[in-house]
Amino acid sequence: MLAVFRKELLTYFTTSVGYIFMGVFLLISGVLFTVGNIFGMSSDYSAFLGGLIMIFLLVVPLLTMKIYSEEKRQKTDQLLMTAPQGTMGIVTGKFLAAGALFLLTLIITGLYPLLLSFHTKMDTAQIIGTYIGFFLLGLSFISIGIYVSSLTDSQAGAAILTFCVLIITWIIDFVASFMPVTPLAGAVFALIIMALAAGWMYNATKNIPSAVITAAVGVALTGILFLINQDLFINLIGKTLSWFSLTRRFSDFPLGILKLNAVIYYLSFSGFFLFLTTQRIEKQRWS
């Protein structure tokens, strides 16, 4: 893990990727800060960080597009996968390297509130809280990027797809508000999920009985729950979709509220995608 972490971090700085990421991020955030906070004479720094999320959506694909696709294209994954290292460790090493570069960039932006503090009294705790939230959000974005990169051997493809997925997580709350809220719609949605699970089961095991059992259990469970308590299915689609809304949980941080459940949400979200990436890579040995 450490070997991969060191190598990835080094590669960010021996190639242009690290500089482009930091340069673009710092340039745009600098412009926004100058226009919004200095010319606008505002000391509301948290609002500024909230606005940065959009820029971050744009530059995260830069950070992660190469991370696995390039290994596959150059066939260097052969070195990693035949080394006495676990795949989870390798994936985590790459994730931490991207996270470290992001952290470094964030630390540089720490100069902005420092500048403001010469002129006005700043709420330090609130700024630190926002930074923590922003960092956790970034880690989640990066974990999505790494997973997408492991799906393809084209850098450009990985970048575009990552960007699309991130945009979707960003607007998903908005989409969710248009979903039907009736219990029946929720139940149908649950059944579709069960069907997908059964299909996945069949795809993974090539075993028809196990897929049928999965589907039957799913349908039975949905039916029973629907009869017992219909309220469970009210707005199920919207609730499920907004589970994927990464930005919604960020909104508490700029208020200076450090919610444990939001922290755990971000960390487990990242962990889940790293796990998916590991599975995806391990599966290549068996295909």
Partner 1 sequence: MIKAIDLTKRYGKHTAVNKINFEIAKGEIIGFLGPNGAGKSTTMNMITGYFAPTDGQILVDGENILSDPEKTRGKIGYLPEHPPLYLDMKVDEYLKFAGRLKKMSSEAIAGDLNRICELVKITDVRGRLIKNLSKGYRQRVGLAQALLGNPQLLILDEPTVGLDPKQIIEIRNLIKDLSEDHTIILSSHILPEISAVCDRVLIINKGSIVASDTPENLAQNLAGMHKLHLQIKGSEESIRAALESLDFQNNISMTGSSEDGVMSVVVEAGKETDIREDVFYALAQHKCPILQMRPLDMSLEEIFLNLTTVETGGNE
Q: Select from 236, 240, 188, 191 the least CA-distant residue to 216.
A: 191
Rounded to an integer, what distance in angstroms lies between the CA atom of residue 169 and that of residue 270?
14
Q: Check if the beta carbon of residue 138 is closer than 8 Å to that of residue 110.
A: no
Show contacts with partner 1 in window 12-41 (CB under 8 A): 14-15
C-beta closer to partner 1: residue 15 or 34: 15
Region from 84-92, 116-124, 136-144, 191-199 binding partner 1, contact rule CB under 8 A:
84-92
Residues 132-147: b if buried by 16+ CB within 10 A, e if exposed = ebbbbbbbbbbbbbbb
81 counts as binding partner 1 under rule CB under 8 A: yes
Show contacts with partner 1 in window 262-281 (CB under 8 A): none
Q: How far is the CB of 46 from partner 1 (least distance, A)?
A: 38
4 counts as binding partner 1 under rule CB under 8 A: yes
Cα first-last separation, the chain: 25
Q: Check if the beta carbon of residue 144 is closer than 8 Å to that of residue 280.
A: no
**The two three-digit tokens of residue 158, written as one number:** 């990985």
**The two three-digit tokens of residue 219, written as one number:** 């349908």
Q: How far is the CB of 146 from partner 1 (least distance, A)?
A: 18
Q: How far is the CB of 284 from partner 1 (least distance, A)?
A: 8
Q: How far is the CB of 85 from partner 1 (least distance, A)?
A: 6
85 counts as binding partner 1 under rule CB under 8 A: yes
Q: Of 18, 46, 68, 77, which lies in the binding site for partner 1, with binding defined by CB under 8 A?
A: 77
Residue 197's alpha-carbon distances to 154, 155, 212, in angstroms, are 29, 30, 10
Q: Of 49, 80, 161, 237, which lies in the binding site for partner 1, with binding defined by CB under 8 A?
A: 80
Binding residues with partner 1: total (CB under 8 A):
25
Q: Of 34, 42, 78, 207, which lies in the binding site for partner 1, with binding defined by CB under 8 A?
A: 78
Region from 24-32, 52-60, 81-89, 149-157 binding partner 1, contact rule CB under 8 A:
81-89
Q: Residue written as tokens 């700024």?
A: 127
74 counts as binding partner 1 under rule CB under 8 A: yes
Q: Give φ, ψ of 46 to 5 degrees.
A: -60, -35
Q: What angle do CA 217, 218, 220 make, to 5 degrees?
A: 65
204 counts as binding partner 1 under rule CB under 8 A: no
C-beta closer to partner 1: residue 11 or 240: 11
178 counts as binding partner 1 under rule CB under 8 A: no
Q: Select from 105, 86, 102 the least CA-distant residue to 2.
A: 86
Rounded to an integer, what distance in angstroms lies between the CA atom of residue 55 and that of residue 57?
5
Q: Of 83, 192, 208, 224, which lies in the binding site for partner 1, with binding defined by CB under 8 A?
A: 83
Where on the chain is the footprint of partner 1 (CB under 8 A)?
2-4, 6-7, 10-11, 14-15, 74-86, 285-287
